[in-house]
Structure 1
Amino acid sequence: MSFLPASGPARRLALMALAVCVLSVAAAVVAFVEGSFVGIVWVLMAGISSNMAWFYVRRAQQQSQQQSRHDAQRAGAAG
């Protein structure tokens, strides 16, 4: 089973949020190495974007489960 949802808008949003998370972690590391406390903002952005990625992954999984249940109910009613 894949971590990411099937192709569609939820997958693209999850990948973009994951990319923002990785880039903000890298920016936080660079900021802290240079002695800047601006890294705190980057850490907060990493937290928000990781939560967004999980949200879109879980939402897509729940939608696919609901769709498969709906398809199973329709197949049971037809047969």
Structure 2
Amino acid sequence: MTAQTKPDPTRRIAVYALVVCLLAVVAAIVSFAKGSLLGIVWVLMAGLTSNLWWFSVRKRRAEQAAAEGNLPTA
């Protein structure tokens, strides 16, 4: 029997942020195609969630490097 590992909340947040980012991009494209300026809000949402995704990915990589003993120098 294999031991189950505890789910990583950082990874889960990154996946959710990426999904919301992709959905916001699609919503922005549809809004602009219909001539609505509401697409600006969707573009801002996509920017916010892409930053959240990138931050989560970088945090996870830093945690993995620290666990392995390979600390970044810069």
Give the alignment's TM-score, normalised by structure 1.
0.77
User: Which of these two proteins has the greater Rg computed from alpha carbons?
Assistant: 1
1:24 aligns with 2:18: no
**Once the 2 structures are TM-superposed, how far is the Cα of residue 33 of structure 1 from its aligned partner?**
0.7
Give aligned pairs, total.
Answer: 64
User: Where does the alignment leave 5 or more consecutive residues of structure 2 unmatched?
Assistant: 1-6
Indicate the structure with greater helix content.
Answer: 1
Residue number in structure 2 paired with 1:4: none
- Quote the RMSD (CA, aligned, Å): 1.3
What is the correspondence of 1:38-53 to structure 2 with a 5 Å cutoff? 38-53=38-53
User: Where does the alignment leave 5 or more consecutive residues of structure 1 unmatched?
Assistant: 1-6, 71-79
Residue number in structure 2 paired with 1:9: 9
Q: Distance in 1 between matches of 2:67 and 2:11?
A: 17
**Once the 2 structures are TM-superposed, how far is the Cα of residue 67 of structure 1 from its aligned partner?**
1.2
* Structure 2 counterpart of 1:64, one-letter code: Q
Q: Percent identity?
A: 48
- SS of match in other structure, 1:36: coil
Q: Distance in 1 between matches of 2:40 and 2:52?
A: 19
